Structure 1
Amino acid sequence: MSLYSKTTAISTAGVLVSLGIIYGDIGTSPLYVMKAIIGNAPISEALVYGGISCVFWTLTLQTTIKYVLLTLQADNNGEGGIFSLFTLIRRKAKWLIVPAMVGGAALLADGIITPPISVSSAVEGLRILYPEIPTVPIVLVILTCLFLMQSYGTEIVGKAFGPIMLLWFTMLGSLGAVSILHHPQIIQALNPYYAYNLLVNYPNGFWLLGAVFLCTTGAEALYSDLGHCGRPNIRLSWSFVKVSLLLNYLGQGAWLMTLEGKTLEENPFYGIMPGWFLLIGITVATIAAIIASQALISGSFTLISEAIRLNLWPKVRLVYPTNLKGQLYVPSVNWLLWMGCVGVVLYFRESEHMEAAYGLAITVAMLSTTVLMMYYLFTKLKSKILASVFLAVYLAIELSFLVANLNKFEHGGWVSLFIGAVLLSVMYIWLNAYHIKRSFTEYVRLKDYLPALKELSADETIPKYTTHLVFMTSAANPKEVESKVIYSIFQKRPKRADIYWFIHVETTDEPFTAEYKVKKIVEGDVIRIDFRLGFRVEQRINLFFRKVVEEMVSSGEVDITSRYPSLNKQHLIGDFRFVVLEKFLSYENDLPLKQRVIMEWYFNVKKFTSSESKWFGLDTSSVKVEKVPLVISPAKLPHMQRVLA
């Protein structure tokens, strides 16, 4: 039984996996939320009770109702996340690509901010014991080791995530429950009146929503990791997690009320710990912060792999370190995230300064999910009223958070928005370049060239190029092929072969589709194979093609024995050679400014990405890469007049 089937049904193992994978970000929020809410203001009942009330109702409305109860319903064959949600509804309206791109870019930006703030908040607890200790080098070492570990996969570490996070949440709940005993009246803070009083009557109370929002920043992970854990396990584990978080927040509030009238000098998260437990608590908190960072990094890898197959990101190298489902490593993204995290640590240095940059991007991601989810509810339930109510309620909530978070802009919030804008620009360029290329790719009818192909195959005056010649084609119609393919076969250098194969790959809206169709265009001479692969399936075309050919040989559909008489007697298999056509931007183009900028940036970025042959998983020893010019808009030549000598 696979890991997926084990964890999608309710089980102890499934709940543990959920604790280890999903709740790192939202689970480490008690490290900094109450500290951010209190800030430098005098501690008062209105501030403490109001802050905890806001946290409770945010967790209830955002995390529990929106994500756990509603958004998890948008199940794309067991997969979740903003791109999975988009693929469920993208055929309904083309404009939905906009919120999908914005949300995806914001989530990636969040992946750069979360590891530094989580690890820094945990490590800074050491200052209680060692006031002069430099925390920045420690944070940088931990983050560097974490990113170095990615290339080996996280299978071994992943097995320990669940039990460690179970210990973490048990510790949160226990410390909070003990602290509540010192001021049991804090339980009254669950009354929504205190949240209303803080936001309406407390000086600048509304702007505290920017700090309150930090308690739910990990809610997107609940949906993104649906495929790893399954809806039942997520819902069951969330009940335990939410109780643990609330107990800790209430415990911090009880401790804060013992300091009423004073200003905060110590992180209340560590304030509720007894002295003898402090070092243990800091150690567990640091490990939990590392797990939270790991979850964000793994989620970023998954997000990028989905974006690539939706033509929203360059075709960078993907590595699968283990055979475990969900184990993915993207080297370029790993080191991009590492550089971003190091930059954030060196720029902000303290977790309290990072709080200003944190939350703004994820608010944008949540708004994007709300828009997509509204459309999903409308298409699934066929009810404009329910969809409209959902949109109105959550737009009001999340726009309030967004406005409050914009107050952080000049204090560091611009960092996350800048990162998100850069990532969104890459997606915009890549998507538009894809459509520009597609719209100007010339296709020809294959049947018009079939007689010439048969004659070329039989023409012994031309040296045989290979026994089996395989072309990758983007033509969705099996009756067509790119004109550049025909040019490559007949004109660039006549390529005589016994059998011509054409392979087309279609990426489906389902995550794990693995299907193929075979069409014999000319018996024994021209064959086309169409692969339909899910957007989460690695495109190992070389292996897939070999498997298909083996099955065709077994069923007697094709004979791949060499047609050279001397080799045929020995029953030797003929050789296979792939030809991949890679486009470059021709100097003959005369493009409008917008298209010229898009295409120039596209090809500049493409220089640093994987080649087409590597992306399709082709064996480099049997691949011929041919450069072909991409002429989108031919330049208008001036009238040339011949002058007699």
Structure 2
Amino acid sequence: MSMDKHSKKASAAGLLVALGIIYGDIGTSPLYTMQAIIGNERITPDLVYGAVSCIFWTLSLQTSLKYVILILRADNNGEGGILALYTLIRKNARWLIVPAIIGASTLLADGIITPPMSVSSAIEGLRIIYPEIDTMPIVIGIITLLFIIQIFGTMLVGRAFGPVMTVWFLMLLVLGLAQIVDHPEILKALNPYYGFKLLVTQPQGFWLLGAVFLCTTGAEALYSDLGHCGIGNIRTSWIFVKSCLVINYFGQGAWLAVHAGELLDGRKPFYEIMPGWWLLAGISIATMAAVIASQALISGSFTLISEAIRLNLWPKVRLIYPSNQKGQLYVPSLNWLLWAGCIGIVLYFQESTRMEAAYGLAITLTMIMTTILFSYYLFVSKVNKIVVFLFFLVYLAIEMSFLAANLLKFSHGGWVTLLLALAIAAVMGLWLKANSIKLRLTEFVDLKRHISSLKELSNDISIPKYATHLIFMSNAVKEDEIESKIIYSIFQKRPKRADIFWFVHVETTNEPYTMDYHVNVLAPDDVIKVTFRLGFRIEQRINLFLRKVVEDMVINNEVDVTSRYESLNRQSIMGDFRFVVLERFLSVENDLPWFEEFVMKFYFGIKSVTNSEAKWFGLDNSSVKIEKVPLVIRHGKNIRMHRVYDN
């Protein structure tokens, strides 16, 4: 299946889904950004004008120019995200896996703090009406409900959320305009001079960048969710979204400018610009928008994990495709891990103001890694080298400034997200290392050398028949090669006689929706190797796919699949098919360096609790034989034993 040809065009339905899925995180930042910037400081005109100016130029340079205009071009057949970007350039430089792992793990860690942060900020508005209310149980309930509805797929969620987000952005627009009309002088903040003045001349001004950064944290999720909506829908809807966001920030600035000389004292500028009669409705809409903010990160996390599996960076966990819609994906194990992480964050921080202190540090690292990868993408795309260098320099300077300011958050809770990111990066790094060790030690043999032996075995009636069609899953990329362990399994472990030996290899392509196969008939009606080339978004249902291949071959008279048992053959009954999947285990005959031993123990430990190879390939359990084979990495040292004879 090729990329949807309309993904570069906008459509009414696509725009609605884009509003519902993509802009939640960035769209709810007005709930907390201005409050985080002002903090406990006395409100001054310089602080207000500088803050609004910084927000406007951050949204323009970081979100609009870097992500919406430039980075969305780097799509892998319609798929986005940092790992899709890495896939486009990995052939040119393998070392880029390092920034890819750092970026992916920090983005996933950010996905654990975004739902608690957004939902808490919205729900805490209730304290204006009910000062004594305990918001924590409400926040936990809402987050739990959000993770339960993931099972139904993002298309259902997107359709339901789209209209809500449209109302949310229109509310931002109206609230902001009402304040700007009362205090139009705030529009002076469009001049970047005010932002520059705040950062350079205001005491401690530079460190406010950590809070300013909160206005653009959702930009990376916007790129990750590209596959769910398409570039045309994102670019078109962003014009509306940015206008609403900017006007609301200017409106909050106008309200703050009128209250110069005061302290915020726990007040939220976002709710202060609401008329009292609208407050309850406003809080309800804000809460729904906050739930949707979490959705953007969750959808992006599912996409990220599916790509990480394909790149051998994550265990082969179960993936579910809830609909035939392009880009729809649900990862049960990740869904509940994220849920547990979110609940832990709520219980640890309790208040959104404490979460603000931790929020943004991890995602700054993701953005820096995206800048490194995208700069390399431009470099190999034959873009003018001066342009590439300027892009790299300008954005590295901007993002390193944000990082420096955000590092202040480390001791205030930022360490929590960095610790989560470190744990995720460790799993990715160890999984990649284990796969490289395994591949290095897998021995392949020439299949052609064994054809005569396989034919002899097939005709040897002294050995009981194991199956009519015996199918081995193989990792050998070359069409005339096979693992030596498979040959050992056929001839030595327990001789497996079959009428036809099939060897099946699955290659996962960089494109999302490829569905090709190639057949290599090494010996007619005896030895056949089938290679499937499947896109990284295609569910691997090898049982079903192989049946289709066999049907096509029968129609073309390339193979005879009727049973070779005389009584069944006369009735033209099809022979049985049996799969053999070799699962490796760590042999006791190893003398490993301590690090490699740790890596392999970790690998097999995780493998024991995730999907088996048979489940990953979508094989029917009734026709599968799982065979355990030792992975001998290095034989023990020469053993010297002395025989004792009887006197």
TM-score (norm 2): 0.98
CA–CA distance in 1 between the matches of 2:121 and 2:7? 31
Aligned counterpart, 1:168: 168
- Partner residue, 1:337: 338
Secondary structure, aligned partner of 1:467: strand
d(CA) in 2 for partners of 1:107, 1:20:
20
Map of 2:440 onto structure 1: 439
Look up the match of 1:56.
Answer: 56
Looking at structure 2, the residues matched to 228 and 338 of structure 1 have their Cα atoms a distance apart, in angstroms, of 22
Aligned to 1:474: 475
Q: Does 1:641 align with 2:642?
A: yes
Letter in 2 for 1:333: L
Structure 1 residue aligned with 2:24: 24
Q: Structure 1: how far apart are the matches of 2:227 and 2:148?
A: 26
CA contact (8 A) 2:434 2:600 kept: yes
Q: 1:543-582 deviations in whole A, cap 9, x for unaligned?
A: 1111111111122221111111110111111111110000
By how many angstroms is 1:327 displaced? 2.3
Matched, 1:35 2:35: yes
1:226-305 matched pairs, under 5 angstroms: 226-265=226-265, 266-305=267-306
Alpha-carbon offset, residue 151 of structure 1: 2.1
- Give a deviation string over 1:130-159, Cα, whole Å, max 9, x none: 111110000000011111122233443321
Superposition pairs for residues 395-474 of structure 1, below 5 Å? 395-474=396-475
Partners of 1:378 and 1:386 within 8 A in 2: no
Match of 1:131 in 2: 131
Distance 1:555 1:601 in 2: 47
Alignment-derived partner of residue 9 in structure 2: 9
1:485 Cα deviation (Å)? 0.3
Whole-Å Cα distance in 1 between the matches of residues 397 and 634 of structure 2?
46
Q: CA deviation at 1:203?
A: 1.4
Alignment correspondent of 2:217: 217
Inter-partner Cα distance in structure 2 for 1:420 and 1:189: 36
Larger displacement relative to structure 2 (619-628 or 70-79): 70-79
Q: Percent identity?
A: 65
TM-fit CA distance, 1:188: 0.6
Contact 1:4 1:228 in 2 (8 A): no
Superposed CA deviations along residues 239-296 of structure 1, whole A, max 9, x for unmatched, are 1111100000000011111211111031000110000101111111111111111221
On the 8 A contact 1:301/1:333 being kept in 2, the answer is yes
| Matched positions, count | 645
1:398-428 deviation per Cα after TM superposition (whole angstroms, max 9, x unaligned)? 0111111110000000011000000000000
SS at match of 2:133: coil
Cα distance in 2, alignment partners of residues 577 and 390 from structure 1: 56
* Aligned partner letter, 1:331: P
Conservation of the 8 A alpha-carbon contact between 2:30 and 2:270: yes
What is the CA-CA distance between 1:197 and the residue it aligns to? 1.0
CA distance in 1 between counterparts of 2:500 and 2:482 reads 16
Corresponding position of 1:386: 387
Give the TM-score of the pair, scaled to structure 1: 0.98
Number of the residue aligned with 2:585: 584
The 1:28/1:633 distance shift into structure 2, 3 A limit, reads same
Tell whether the 8 Å contact from 2:2 to 2:513 is kept in structure 1 after alignment.
Answer: no
Deviation at 1:297, TM superposition (A): 1.1
Matched with 1:118 is 118
Give the C-alpha shift of residue 487 in structure 1.
0.8
Distance in 1 between the 2:245 and 2:357 partners?
22
Q: Secondary structure at the match of 1:92?
A: coil
CA distance in structure 2 between the partners assigned to 1:45 and 1:2 by the alignment: 54
Counterpart in 1 of 2:508? 507
Contact map agreement 1:4 1:227 (CA 8 A) in 2: no
Match of 1:407, SS state, is helix
CA distance in 2, matches of 1:638, 1:492: 25
**Paired AA for residue 356 in structure 2:** E
Give 1:546's aligned residue.
547
State which drifts further: 299-308 or 424-433: 299-308
Aligned match of 1:66: 66
Contact 1:3 1:324 in 2 (8 A): no
1:331-353 per-residue CA deviation (whole Å, 9 max, x = no partner) reads 11111001100000000000110
2:22–2:222: 8 Å Cα contact kept in structure 1? yes
- 1:525 aligned partner, one-letter code: D
Instruction: Provide the C-alpha distance between the structure 2 equivalents of 1:331 and 1:368, rounded to a whole number of angstroms.
Output: 28
- In 1, the alpha carbon distance for the partners of 2:403 and 2:636 equals 47
For 1:183 and 1:249, the matched residues in 2 are separated by 13
Contact 1:4 1:229 in 2 (8 A): no
In structure 2, the residue matched to 1:196 is 196
8 A Cα contact 1:370 1:395, kept in partner: yes
Deviation (angstroms), 1:3: 11
Q: Which string of whole-angstrom CA distances, capped at 9 and with x for unpartnered residues, describes residues 209-234 of structure 1?
A: 11010100111122222222222221
Give unpaired runs (5+ residues) of structure 1. Answer: none
Shift of 1:13: 2.2
Partners in 1 of 2:135 and 2:4 — Cα distance? Answer: 39
- Using the alignment, how far apart are the partners of 2:202 and 2:225 within structure 1? 38
Match of 1:356, SS? helix
**1:198, CA displacement in angstroms?**
0.9
Match of 2:97 in 1: 97
Judge conservation of contact 2:541–2:617 (CA < 8 Å) in 1: yes
Worse-matched range after superposition: 162-171 or 116-125: 162-171
Asked whether the equivalents of residues 3 and 78 of structure 2 are also in contact (C-alpha less than 8 Å), the reply is no
Q: Distance in 1 between matches of 2:320 and 2:243?
A: 38
The match for 1:327 is: 328
How far apart in 2 are the matches of 1:541 and 1:383?
45
SS of 2:495's equivalent in the other structure is coil
| Cα separation, partners in 2 of 1:7 and 1:380, compared to 1, 3 Å | closer
Secondary structure in 2 matching 1:125: helix
Alpha-carbon separation, structure 2, partners of 1:628 and 1:374 = 44
Cα offsets for 1:506-526 (capped at 9, x unmatched)? 111222221110110111111
* Compared CA separation, residues 508 and 526, structure 1 to 2 (3 A): same
Contact 1:31 1:121 in 2 (8 A): yes
Residue in 2 that maps onto 1:76: 76
Matched, 1:208 2:202: no
5 Å-filtered alignment, 1:603-618, equals: 603-618=604-619
Report SS of the residue matched to 2:534: strand
- Say if 1:7 and 1:13, in contact at 8 Å, map to a contact too: no
Cα RMSD, aligned residues only: 1.4
Q: CA–CA distance in 1 between the matches of 2:274 and 2:544? A: 56
Larger deviation: 165-174 or 406-415? 165-174
SS at match of 2:467: strand
Alpha-carbon contact 2:519-2:528 (below 8 Å) kept: yes
Quote the Cα distance in structure 1 between the aligned partners of 2:549 and 2:250.
Answer: 61
CA distance in 1: counterparts of 2:68 and 2:360, whole angstroms: 20
CA distance in 1, matches of 2:125, 2:312: 44
Q: Displacement of 1:325 after TM fit?
A: 2.4
- Counterpart AA for 1:45: P
| Secondary structure of the corresponding residue to residue 358 of structure 2 | coil
| C-alpha separation in 2, matches of 1:214 and 1:178 | 24
Instruction: Answer whether contact 1:8 1:14 (CA < 8 A) is retained.
Output: no
**How far did 1:447 drift?**
1.4
1:595 and 2:596 matched: yes
The AA in structure 1 aligned to 2:106 is A
